[in-house]
A = this chain, B = another copy of it.
């Protein structure tokens, strides 16, 4: 089971965009440059975040991307759903309806116990992601990111925002 690498990129980009002054934006090219990742692939993910109203895309020469909601209103689950979609990890193919013990399809109105157990695990995973907001992650930066890296990030932002 594997989450798309675009999820990691997206959360890092959102975290950087959260540090912008009001009404400023960063282009896909700048976001890719800051993270050392390919701009073309990143753009696809940024568009998915726009589609789910996590980012806004501002047109024009000073345009680019910015958060479209407060950091408290963006959860890791929102990002995962935008990038990887909402389908559960366990996809029941209803094999109980095949083979010599199968009944007619009308006899399977209640979910299979096995599928239900996996759905519980999915709910636990989604619940954990839903309880972590971009705001929570940003609050941890002073403790979790080396101060020298914080300083270099701020200097880079100052330079590119002009």
Contact = CB atoms under 8 A, between A and B. Distances in A.
Given A2-B1, A34-B101, A99-B33, A107 B148 contact: yes
A121 B125 contact: yes
Contacts of A101: 34, 149, 152-153, 156
A18 interface: no
Contacts of A145: 96, 113
A144 B36 contact: no
Interface string A38-72: 00000000000000000000000000000000000
Contacts of A121: 76, 125, 128-129, 132
Number of copies: 2
Interface of A is mostly: helix
Interface residues of A, number: 65
A120 B128 contact: yes
Contacts of A137: 113-114, 117
A33 B2 contact: no
Nearest to A5: B93
Contacts of A90: 3, 7-8
Interface of A: 1-5, 7-9, 11-12, 15, 33-37, 76, 80, 84, 87, 89-93, 95-96, 98-103, 107-108, 110, 112-118, 120-125, 127-129, 132, 136-137, 140-141, 144-146, 148-149, 152-153, 156
Given A8-B114, A12-B96, A124-B128, 10 more contacts: A1-B80, A2-B91, A3-B89, A5-B91, A8-B90, A76-B121, A107-B146, A107-B149, A120-B132, A122-B125
